[in-house]
Structure 1
Amino acid sequence: MKASSNLVCVLMAFFAMTSCTAQKNKKPNIIYILADDMGYNELGAYGGKLIETPNIDKLATHGIKFTNHYAGSNICAPSRCALLTGKHTGNSWIRDNKPLPFEGNEPIKSSEVTVAEIFKKANYTTGVFGKWGLGYPNSEGSPDNQGFDEFYGYNCQRHAHSYYTNYMRQNNDSIPLNGNIEAPFTDFTADVIHNQALSFIENNQDKPFFLYYASTLPHNPYHQPDDELLTYYEKKFNIAKGDASDKGFTEPKYAAMSTRLDRQVGELIAKLKHLGILENTLIIFSSDNGTALRPNQDKFLKTGGNLQGRKGQVYEGGIKAPMIAFWQGKIKPGTTSSHISAFWDFLPTCAELVNIENPKDIDGISFLPTLLGQEKQQKKHDYLYWERNQSQAIRKDDMKAVISYDKTTKKQSVEIYNVRKDPNEKINLADSRPKLRNEFIKLAKTARVESELFPLIKNR
């Protein structure tokens, strides 16, 4: 009996060790949560005072917060293209929002390698839930043709402007939302999408997965359930119920949208905990561009802080984005990094994480060393580059140039700021730094390739 008992103990120890080793060697899940139009200073972790985001702030408390991170563009589609392909807007296929006369947007080419295709090579299950905007249904740019096993949400970003639409897309199929056929509408799409994403996690808990959670919150219009959250902010801001100025925008409505997203992030984390897979999941949170609130709307909430510019501009307020990463046991809690990074770094970070070779001709640099506290091994960018709507921006170390072109006169203007000393871009150094000005003008020519779809006036 004693020998038998010893054998049982040895076997139990062996299986416990095997289980521990298997868990240790299991590939991590990756979840990328993308807010829509969230300002850089909106979150409590980034100095926000009025809008409550405790769950996202907790990710920062227990993870890492980046203070020099940038979106792919100052608007939706090109920013998402940069995120998924690892290319900045001087080299990416999509450089602006390009609507089509039917549902959908200009598709990215099948030849483009997306981060989802990187994960597929590493035997991950991939899903995207929310707003796509990179190719109409059944096009070469639709999610199922860009490496995603499952898609649920809005294919077209114009369609995403309705939170009570009567249908969603599941892969390329149209799925009716019966609760929105007749008023009063009951299917709030941000909740419907969220529930689909939670189901994806539950259905794939036993295998490595990549979840791209492209939320539509807090993008306008600010339609949402008339519930306790909206009432809470109306009381907090002391604004009469039903006050609707500026085509429906009010501070309580906007604040409630952002806190709804925060609650959904909390529910996602709770799901991971319940399934026992939180420890093996890397979560990254960011926003696709700066706040859409115009300065006269943003005086109270200060979602963009004192940054110059807003969505649609290449000043800091249009392209600077929060980024928080959480990975229990891997990322040191409470870390802040000033590493200069951008959306196009996400793909090479994932490729390094799953040991897959990067595609050729990408612009991104993996920030995995920074996540893991290995700053000495972190490579740095020579520069970051953006272009859109006859404007270019270049950040090189602490210096940033904003170059604009007049379509009529075809003359260019150049502004230069030290964004470390002058983060709100108030002091234009272009006239006092002629040598640097010429360096930026030269770089503006060489940082990009010509695009027939999105031409830029050639530099003089």
Structure 2
Amino acid sequence: MNLLRNNFLKVTAVLAVVFGMSSCATQHKQTVSKEVKQPNIIYILADDAGWGDFSCYGQEKFSTPNIDALAESGIRFTDHYAGSSVCAPSRSTLLTGQHTGHTPIRGNKEVMPEGQVPIPGATFSLPKMLKSEGYATGMFGKWGLGYPQSEGAPNAQGFDEFYGYNCQRLAHTYYPLYLRHNGTKVPLPANSEGHATYTHDMIHEQALSFIDQNKEKPFFLYLPYTIPHAEMVVPQDSIFQVFKEKYPQGKPFVNKANHDPNLSHEDRFYKGAYGDQEYPRAAFATMMYYLDNAVGDVMKKVKEHGLEENTIIIFSSDNGPHKEGGADPYYFQSFGPFKGVKRDLYEGGIRVPMIVSWPKTIAGKTVSDHPSAFWDVLPTVADIVGVDLSEDKNIDGISFLPTLLGKAESQEKHDYLYWEFHEKGGRRAVRMGNWKAVQYNLKKKKKIEIYDLSKDPSESNNLAKQHPELVKKAQKIFDEARTSSKEFPFQAENI
């Protein structure tokens, strides 16, 4: 359990990355040298960490030296976007290569007592693609795309090995009654009596073991960690104590459900009730420390087996920062220079970090402003491993492999990036070059807003009146960029 907590006082910031890259609109198929065998692919996903929660992206209240080192060894993207502003649809876009107007799972829709609406069994997905290419596939962390034993469960969607939370609601506690291993419950009886078994450590150790077990063959490791999502509950260790002394306390969080005599511990678990936290700021910083150390452990494990030059490590977050369970993204400026948090379609809710490291193939200390999104990951990986994506796969993404290889002149660009969000009366947004259109509360027929991200990244100056042609263009995209979903009806269909 000490893997995540060693050498705390030695944490320091690493050099900022300094080079820039641009993109152009010419499409050109890229290939990796045939001398390179199938590379291992590790995709690490933070849960509810904002663009500004990392020191290489400007965080000043704590440092993330391992993630900074990952950025120094590869390329850091400044204009990368999550698939959605909440968990399940964002992950669906990542694994299917389709934006929220097309991907099967477009919202957080619960199935009781455990799980969410399943992604259809016939869905073409990243793990299925890699498994068909001979990869060992493992997923460790939070799933959220189908209840246990359903067609959307991890093992049914192409993963050989799964360990973690099948249900994202049950992941609201770090001390659950059980986890799941390939669909089977792994009881944690000590947690019924209190905070005994911290599951982030368990999930992390299983992921490292997966690397050990598959070091001789190509593997795909999908690591959707649960931190720093609420609840804001962490082990009462020396790290937490240091942060308690470092930061002002902030507003304590008390959940009434935890003090309701009519609710049992099991009731609260299945309800997804967040635990109380007297020092939420210290808890958040502690989580970010654990996350950074976990990334460092993965990097060390890859190096230990001599796999560095044949392993791609991608790091990102599933959406913007949250303010649940006592979290205070405003104190930490977790959203960076942007406006909005989780559930927003303003930049703060959907613009996220992305770092890609592949020594000897990707130049280190590189920064790219190429606009990209989660649905670009699948076609990029397909390019890398040599999979031809036929049109019947209905992929919205565009490979950013040219950017990774330093060939910006041959990088194809999106005409637009599209999002729709089914809560809060219906929200949608589209980025068109440097222009961004946002529309909130479709139920009340709110007007389209227009922002120039090149001059106004905080989306403070609505230019809709000055640019009616962009309002018209955005409306056309909103009308044409999506298909209807019976499972996830959208408010726009009723306007």
TM-score, scaled to structure 1: 0.91
1:381 to 396, 401, 414: 414
Q: CA deviation at 1:131?
A: 0.2
Correspondence for 1:439 = 473
Deviates more, 1:449-458 or 1:27-36: 449-458
Distance in 2, Cα, partners of 1:120 & 1:245: 44
- In structure 2, the CA distance between the partners of 1:354 and 1:296, relative to structure 1 (3 Å rule), is closer
Q: CA deviation at 1:254?
A: 0.5
Mapping 1:381-420, distance limit 5 Å: 381-389=414-422, 390-407=426-443, 409=444, 411-420=445-454
Q: Which amino acid aligns with 2:329?
A: D
2:134 aligns to what SS in structure 1? coil
1:338 to 349, 362, 369: 369
Correspondence for 2:303 = 273
CA displacement, residues 164-217 of structure 1 (integer Å, 9 cap, x when unaligned)? 11211111111112442433x321100000000000000000000000000001
Distance in 2, Cα, partners of 1:25 & 1:322: 27
2:200 to 190, 196, 208: 190
Correspondence for 2:234 = 224
1:357 to 383, 388, 398: 388
Q: Which amino acid aligns with 1:454?
A: F
Q: Which amino acid aligns with 1:158?
A: R
Mapping 1:20-169, distance limit 5 Å: 24-169=35-180
Q: CA deviation at 1:48?
A: 0.4
Q: Is the 8 A contact 1:66 1:338 kept in 2?
A: yes
1:308 to 339, 363, 383: 339
CA displacement, residues 371-406 of structure 1 (integer Å, 9 cap, x when unaligned)? 111111211101000001211100010001002244
Correspondence for 1:202 = 212
Q: CA deviation at 1:229?
A: 1.1
Q: CA deviation at 1:457?
A: 2.7
Q: Which amino acid aligns with 1:86?
A: G
Q: Is the 8 A contact 2:230 2:327 kept in 1?
A: no
- In structure 2, the CA distance between the partners of 1:406 and 1:354, relative to structure 1 (3 Å rule), is closer
Mapping 1:226-265, distance limit 5 Å: 226-237=236-247, 239=249, 244-245=252-253, 247-248=276-277, 250-265=280-295
Q: Is the 8 A contact 1:278 1:328 kept in 2?
A: yes
Q: Is the 8 A contact 1:83 1:344 kept in 2?
A: yes
Distance in 2, Cα, partners of 1:436 & 1:355: 38
Residue-pair matches, total: 434
Q: CA deviation at 1:25?
A: 3.4
- In structure 2, the CA distance between the partners of 1:23 and 1:244, relative to structure 1 (3 Å rule), is farther
Query: Does 2:316 match 1:286?
Result: yes
Q: CA deviation at 1:429?
A: 0.6
Q: CA deviation at 1:271?
A: 1.0
- In structure 2, the CA distance between the partners of 1:106 and 1:358, relative to structure 1 (3 Å rule), is same
Distance in 2, Cα, partners of 1:297 & 1:283: 29
- In structure 2, the CA distance between the partners of 1:296 and 1:196, relative to structure 1 (3 Å rule), is closer
Correspondence for 1:5 = none
Query: Does 2:478 match 1:423?
Result: no
Q: Is the 8 A contact 1:121 1:356 kept in 2?
A: no
Distance in 1, Cα, partners of 2:464 & 2:327: 28
1:214 to 218, 224, 243: 224
1:321 aligns to what SS in structure 2? strand
2:352 aligns to what SS in structure 1? coil
Distance in 2, Cα, partners of 1:321 & 1:351: 22
- In structure 2, the CA distance between the partners of 1:406 and 1:420, relative to structure 1 (3 Å rule), is same
Distance in 1, Cα, partners of 2:74 & 2:80: 15
Q: Which amino acid aligns with 1:327?
A: W
Q: Percent identity?
A: 48
Q: Which amino acid aligns with 1:386?
A: W
Deviates more, 1:22-31 or 1:361-370: 22-31
Segments of 5+ residues of structure 2 without an aligned counterpart are: 1-32, 255-275
Correspondence for 1:370 = 403
Distance in 2, Cα, partners of 1:238 & 1:157: 30
2:394 aligns to what SS in structure 1? coil
CA displacement, residues 258-290 of structure 1 (integer Å, 9 cap, x when unaligned)? 110101111111111111112211000000000
Correspondence for 1:16 = none
Q: Is the 8 A contact 2:46 2:228 kept in 1?
A: yes
Distance in 2, Cα, partners of 1:25 & 1:267: 25
Q: CA deviation at 1:306?
A: 3.5
Q: Is the 8 A contact 2:427 2:442 kept in 1?
A: no
Q: Which amino acid aligns with 1:377?
A: S
Q: Which amino acid aligns with 2:430?
A: I
Q: Which amino acid aligns with 1:226?
A: Q
Q: CA deviation at 1:452?
A: 1.3
2:461 aligns to what SS in structure 1? coil
Distance in 2, Cα, partners of 1:238 & 1:442: 48
**What is the RMSD of the two structures over their aligned residues, measured on CA atoms?**
1.9
Correspondence for 1:8 = none
Q: Which amino acid aligns with 2:483?
A: V
Distance in 1, Cα, partners of 2:238 & 2:34: 41
Q: Which amino acid aligns with 2:363?
A: K
Q: CA deviation at 1:238?
A: 5.4
Q: Is the 8 A contact 2:321 2:329 kept in 1?
A: no
Q: Is the 8 A contact 1:345 1:364 kept in 2?
A: yes
Q: CA deviation at 1:412?
A: 3.4
Q: CA deviation at 1:369?
A: 1.1
Q: Which amino acid aligns with 2:169?
A: R
1:413 aligns to what SS in structure 2? coil
Q: CA deviation at 1:23?
A: 11
Larger radius of gyration: 1
Distance in 1, Cα, partners of 2:360 & 2:62: 29
Distance in 2, Cα, partners of 1:23 & 1:386: 37
Q: Which amino acid aligns with 2:118?
A: P
- In structure 2, the CA distance between the partners of 1:432 and 1:126, relative to structure 1 (3 Å rule), is same
Query: Does 2:488 match 1:454?
Result: yes
